[in-house]
Amino acid sequence: MKNLQTDLNKGLVHKSLYSTLLPLVLLPAILIFSGCQSTNDYLSGASTSANKITHSISHLPEAPAGYKWQIIDNMSDEFNGTSLDSSKWNDSISTWKGRHPARFLPKNVKVVNGNLALNTSTYAEDSDGYTMGGAAVSGKHSAIYGYFEARVKASKTKMSTTFWLHSDTSDNSGTGCNTAHTTEIDILEAIGGWPERFWTDVMHSNTHYKGRELVDGKCQGAKYISQGVKHDAKVNLSDDFHTYAAWWVTPNKVKFYFDNQLTGTVDLDNPQDPVPFNSEMSLRMVSETYTWQEKLIKNIEGDDEPYPTEQELDDESINTILYDYVRSYQLVAID
């Protein structure tokens, strides 16, 4: 009971803005200890869209008496149209062009055959030093706490396949440098074309607390506080679709899932912030490059290319991430 009470206390969001969300913080914390999966199928619907999304949610944790899981429609998509739904998504990230050498290109974002497709491409070097094309989709709406999942088939190049949450504004920004921060929950990171299975077969899930600190009188970014889990699927994640999910339970707890099975729990611990993950976050789906690829490839015998070749960038048989759907849920009281 002591641990439960601690979770509940930490789950109390300290800002009046979120006081109405208290039940959403308390209830998931209670559910942690139920250890149950729902045996009933529910139909969940959104109240904000004419095209209401409905489907079975029997794989979600069982909702407590008086509550149910409900789809967050403006953070969910079945991608059954012919173009990206501009009421829900951007085909770029306004604050980020991409990590070198890959630049996010809107032309590499498509909706085809019932999937969101993010592909790579060749790209003539520009004045910013980018030399290849990636892709990014960012959500226009955000939530605090909930269950977020996507059914994804990774690409098979040396550019990443990702699905994650990120706060769009700094939390506690008006309370001083040492308390301002942003947050990120990486549900999936994989590289389907990497020469070692550590990145092709493994679901990498992480949390990042991005704080600020005073250095020589200037407020600047501090070292991230990062905690995560890894799940070895024992298959290349580019071979088929799999479901990747995170249950953001409280400001101090996130649970990760692969094909509806729990892979691990992260207890978010920050000695300077008792409620570290208490900012609203939006979804992102991204194909990007990492600077560490250049260092890591040097330790791999027989391969000296850290990034996709020009041929691989334009090879439609390997260069595309497919997202069958993205679904987000919240707990709501039953009328």
Which residues are marked as active site?
184, 189
The 8-class DSSP code of residue 245 comes to E
How many Cα atoms sit within 13 Å of 111 on the Cβ side?
17
Q: Are 25 and 14 in contact (CB under 8 A)?
A: no
Q: Taking a C-beta distance cutoff of 8 angstroms, is the pair 265, 253 a contact?
A: yes
Are 284 and 164 spatial neighbours (Cβ–Cβ below 8 Å)?
yes
Do 203 and 231 form a contact (C-beta atoms < 8 A)? yes
Q: Which single residue is written with the structure tokens 């990774």? A: 154
Scan for tokens 């020469």, then name that residue.
Answer: 195
Helices (H), 218-321: 293-296, 310-313
User: ∠ CA 206-320-156 to the nearest 5 degrees?
Assistant: 70
Nearest by Cα to 248 from 226, 204, 280, 284: 280
Asked whether the CA dihedral 52, 53, 54, 59 is positive or negative, the reply is negative
- Buried-exposed string 206-244: b where 16+ CB fall within 10 A, e elsewhere: bbbbbbbeeeeeeeeebeebebbbebebeebbbeebbbb
CB atoms within 10 A of CB 17: 10
Q: Which two tokens stand for residue 43?
A: 């139909």
Tokens of 223: 């070292």
